[in-house]
Amino acid sequence: NDVERLRLTRKLNMNIFLAQLIESTNDTWGVDLFEVDALSNHRPLTHVALHLFKQRNILKQFQIRELTFFKFISAIEAKYRNNPYHNNIHATDVLQASHHMLNFSVFKNVFTELEVFAALFAAAVHDVDHPGVTNQYLINTNSDLAILYNDESVLENHHVTLAFQTLSTEGCDVLSTLNRKQHQMFRKMVISVVLATDMSKHIQHIGHLKTMVEIRRLSSSASSIIDPENAEDKLQILQSLVHCSDLSNPLKPLNLYLQWTDRIMEEFFRQGDLEKSLNLEVSPLCDRENSNICKSQMGFIDYVVHPLWEIWSRLTQPDCQPIMDILESNRVWIASQVLTEDDKHDGDDDGDDDKDDDDGDDDVIR
């Protein structure tokens, strides 16, 4: 009947739209993964990972059965929690950004298939089972995870361990066709890339990249920036590539960036709520009652994101320029909101300008 036909047509159109969106992950920066999440019955990671691994011919190269990969990535996706920010959509976002940047011309003929496999695998699993609180919170609350990992990169150690444990789930061993040497190298690379997403390593990333750019500038062979024979350098680049992807929200189209900002702040605020209920000191940025989202996003861009991406873009020129342009335009927009916020607050000037008023005006950036 008509209703049934209408329903089927709608379903068909959704699947066609989903297929087009997933196809665009091949070569587009800033795919709307919230849309992919909505159209894929909340399985964006499985859909995008399967597509990208097939598109890169990784499954064929390592004789990995599609069903095995499907079972593994589905099991991983199911272990991502429904946090506002650290969820399966974020994992898909980091995977797709990493895939995009591996295609930069400066990396042509640099990485082996195994290195590409390891980097994308690491991106897909890098936050699995994230509890929605920071390492510091886990340490301050004497959590089992902090005890287990002795306060050192607690979350990141947990993500890697759980990823490799998932391989031993029935029918999920995507590494079964690797030989001993490949398996050993793959495991070393995935462990180091996921552990390198700990923000406490952020400054080290910037240092390594600066050194690499300096050497490129000084060395006569400016063209071949990365020595494909230097496994250590290549591993450091893969670590920075996934870390940059993890910090790529402010370099995405504004409507996507603002959704990520809302989400991370809600996750921080929930942690603040927990800290209040436990009579712990509320972490910076986590106080729902006293936060200024636009001002702190300016700080996040100026002190965390831009310093990293500025040096990364110098290493990866010219392909990074369009992405850096998005960061610049987003920063201008955020700055305009801060001004609007200040203007509005000046209206009801209570003589105490530096006090961060409640973020009622922050609805503006939603």
A 10 A CB-CB count for 149 gives 19
Give the footprint of Zn ion on residues 277-336 (CB under 5 A): none
Q: Which one of residues 127, 233, 275, 362 is an interface residue with Mg ion (CB under 5 A)?
A: 127
Site string for Zn ion, 139-178 (x = CB under 5 A): ----------------------------------------
Q: Quote the least distance from Cβ 248 to Mg ion, whole Å.
A: 13
CB closer to Mg ion, 90 vs 306: 90
Residue 72 binds what, of ligand FFZ, Mg ion, Zn ion, none (CB under 5 to 8 Å, by partner type)? none
Closest CA to 128 of 166, 169, 168, 100: 166
CB of 356 to ligand FFZ, least distance (A): 12
Residue among 189, 223, 20 nearest 106 (CA): 223
Residue 230 CA to chain centroid, in angstroms? 26
Nearest residue (CB) to ligand FFZ, 194 versus 225: 194
- Whichever of 141 and 296 has its CB closer to ligand FFZ, that residue is 296
Question: Which one of 47, 86, 126, 159 is the catalytic residue?
Answer: 86
Sorted by sequence, the CB contacts under 8 Å of residue 316 that are 6+ apart come out as 101, 104, 106, 107
The residues binding ligand FFZ (CB under 6 A) are 199, 246-247, 249, 260-261, 264, 285, 293, 296-297, 299-300, 303-304
Site string for Mg ion, 73-112 (x = CB under 5 A): ----------------------------------------
Cα–Cα distance measured from residue 329 to residue 343, given in angstroms and rounded to the nearest whole number: 21
**86 noted as active-site residue:** yes
Q: Is residue 59 within 8 Å of 115, Cβ to Cβ?
A: no
Count Cβ neighbours within 10 Å for each residue of 153-179 and write b for 16 or more, e otherwise: bbbbbbbbbebeebeeeeebbbbeebe
* Residue 77 or 127 having the CB closest to Zn ion: 127
Task: Read off the DSSP letter of residue 282.
Answer: P
What does the alpha-carbon distance between residue 14 and residue 17 come to, in Å, rounded to a whole number? 5
Alpha carbons within 13 A on the beta-carbon side of 131: 16
Contact call for residue 359 and Mg ion (CB under 5 A)? no
Nearer to ligand FFZ, 221 or 303 (CB): 303
Structure tokens at 26: 């091949």
* Cα–Cα distance for residue pair 174/160, rounded to 1 Å: 15
300 binds, among Mg ion, Zn ion, ligand FFZ, none (CB under 5 to 8 A by kind): ligand FFZ
- Stretch binding Zn ion (CB under 5 A), from 43-51, 71-79, 124-132, 200-208: 124-132
What is the contact surface with Mg ion in residues (CB under 5 A)? 127, 197
Residues serving a catalytic function are 86
What is the contact surface with Zn ion in residues (CB under 5 A)? 127, 246
